[in-house]
């Protein structure tokens, strides 16, 4: 699998396409109340999975990174216990099978690496191929250190174990940041929904209150400006919460 390429399945097309059409219907009701406009824009909603694909790829790589952290920590424990590199990762594979399941990304990748080594391919070469396909800096760094340590003939086990601990600690910090900002992300989603809820509330309690905005040219211009501000604010708040190290 090339983790830099995300292929949408039929279920995802159906699920996220329906969501896209639903979001367009909601925005049309709040800002325009135009069935004709919705009919024109509805096909764009079906393309929503294409917009979401980048985020889905990011989520998959984040999941792979967390699984990789547990794998290299398990392998580091095996190395410190005196296992060879191959045996340490074989033990890590058994632990990942129990922790994430045999069909998990990290289990499949470890199984592939070990299968390649049994076919007389170098462990470092198999690891490097995984690092290249993952597109993750942490996995690439681990692969580079492993290859450099093996070529230099230094204390391979100690270097690999220490590198695994450093990379795992970095990933753990990223996990802590995500946990610390979880409440803020929830607040951001609630704040994004409030303008829509206000419109529904006023429409329910005072029917016709917004009719002027939907029936005149000036009103439609005002609502278009409001839509731009709303979408810009949602995008900005999302970017503010994207903390990377």
pLDDT by 10s per residue, the chain, length 245: 788 888 888 898 999 999 889 989 998 988 888 888 888 888 888 888 888 888 889 889 989 988 998 888 888 888 888 888 888 899 999 999 999 998 999 999 999 999 999 888 888 889 899 999 998 888 888 888 888 877 776 577 777 777 777 887 887 887 787 787 778 888 888 888 888 888 888 888 888 888 888 888 888 899 999 999 998 988 888 887 776 65
Residue 167 φ then ψ, to 5°: -65, -40
Instruction: Output DSSP code: residue 8.
Output: P
Q: Which of 8, 46, 146, 169 shows the shortest CA–CA distance to 88?
A: 146
Please calculate the CA angle 151-155-158 and round it to the nearest 5 degrees: 120
- In this structure, are residues 127 and 113 in contact, taking their beta carbons and an 8 Å threshold? yes
Strand ranges, E, within the chain: none
Would you state the pLDDT for residue 245? 54
Would you state the pLDDT for residue 221? 92
Q: Please state the pTM of the whole predicted model.
A: 0.78
């Amino acid at each position: 699998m090339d983790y830099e390429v995300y292929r949408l399945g039929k279920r995802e097309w159906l699920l996220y396409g329906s969501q896209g059409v639903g979001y367009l219907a909601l925005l049309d009701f709040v800002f325009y109340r135009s069935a004709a406009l919705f009919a024109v824009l509805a096909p764009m909603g079906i393309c929503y999975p294409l917009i979401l694909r980048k985020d889905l790829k990011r989520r998959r790589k984040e999941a792979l990174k967390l699984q990789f952290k547990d794998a290299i920590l398990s392998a580091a424990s095996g190395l410190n216990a005196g296992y060879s590199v191959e045996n340490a990762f074989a033990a890590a594979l058994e632990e990942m099978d129990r922790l994430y399941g045999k069909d998990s990304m990290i289990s499949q990748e470890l199984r592939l690496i070990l299968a390649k080594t049994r076919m007389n391919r170098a462990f470092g070469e198999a690891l490097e191929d995984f690092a290249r396909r993952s597109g993750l800096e942490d996995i690439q760094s681990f692969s580079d250190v492993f290859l450099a340590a093996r070529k230099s003939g230094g204390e391979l086990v100690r270097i690999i174990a220490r590198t695994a601990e450093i990379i795992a600690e970095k990933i753990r910090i990223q996990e802590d940041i995500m946990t610390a900002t979880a409440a803020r992300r929830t607040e951001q989603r609630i704040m994004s929904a409030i303008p829509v809820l206000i419109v529904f509330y006023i429409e329910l309690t005072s029917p016709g209150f917004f009719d002027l905005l939907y029936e005149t040219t000036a009103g439609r211009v005002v609502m278009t400006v409001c839509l731009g501000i709303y979408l810009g604010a949602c995008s900005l708040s999302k970017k503010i919460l994207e903390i990377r190290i």
